[in-house]
Amino acid sequence: MLEIYAQKINGMWFGVGCENQQVFVTSFGCCEQSVLKNILNKAPFNMPFQVFMEPSAFAKNALDVLSNIYEAKDVSESFPLAMNHLPAYTEKVLKATSMIPLGYLASYGSIAKAVGGSPRAVGNAMAANPFPPIVPCHRVVKSDFTLGGYGGGLDVKGDFLLREKRGFSSLRKIDVNGRFLEVFPVEFVLNANHKSMQASTQSKGKQ
């Protein structure tokens, strides 16, 4: 039985679906309704569920962690995430994605290089991510430093990156099962988008 909890923390709604001290699905959003809808969308389709008003201790802790991640705090705590029901490739991509450190981003292509497959396949796995923002799919962007897509909306993704800005300036390589995942500072994307906005306003000015 999937136990579903939703709670408002600091103005934002967070939700978890769990069973046997394992997290199956998470969600966040501006209202309770959308959070619950997302949870039911991403939950294994044939799993019976029940929505609870009072979070269990386990769920309460999970909700707090979600909120901390949302606020771009450095969260070291990790959870038992139930990934067994996911396709093997999706699981690999999500695990690699969860290794991207706070303040850094990876491109769809660099993840594809690290785990195999193609950038599009990585994008598909991101879209299927049941664990936002525990698995930080908002830290995956296009290779040209534009944002790409995001289930919760691009503005949400952009806001995340602004909050996660940490002032790093150099590339890093993360070891993912012996293969390297290249990551770069959030600033690269923020600067690139800033420049492109400047460029578009300049070209408008010239006309």
Positions touching DNA (CB under 7 A) are 87-90, 107-109, 116-129, 132, 137-138, 140, 142-144, 148-151, 199, 203
The two counts, helices (H) then strands (E), for the chain are 7, 8
Q: Whole-angstrom Cα distance, residue 155 to residue 142?
A: 16
> Closest distance between DNA and the C-beta of residue 204, in Å?
12
Q: Whole-angstrom Cα distance, residue 132 to residue 28?
A: 8
Q: Whose Cβ is closer to DNA: residue 26's or residue 90's? A: 90
Q: Whose Cβ is closer to DNA: residue 13's or residue 131's? A: 131
> Closest distance between DNA and the C-beta of residue 150, in Å?
5
> Closest distance between DNA and the C-beta of residue 152, in Å?
8
Specify the DSSP class assigned to residue 142: -
Sign of CA dihedral 186, 161, 109, 135: positive
Q: Whose Cβ is closer to DNA: residue 6's or residue 147's? A: 147
Q: Is 31 labeled as catalytic in the residue annotation?
A: no
Helix or strand or coil: residue 34?
Answer: helix
The catalytic residues are 137
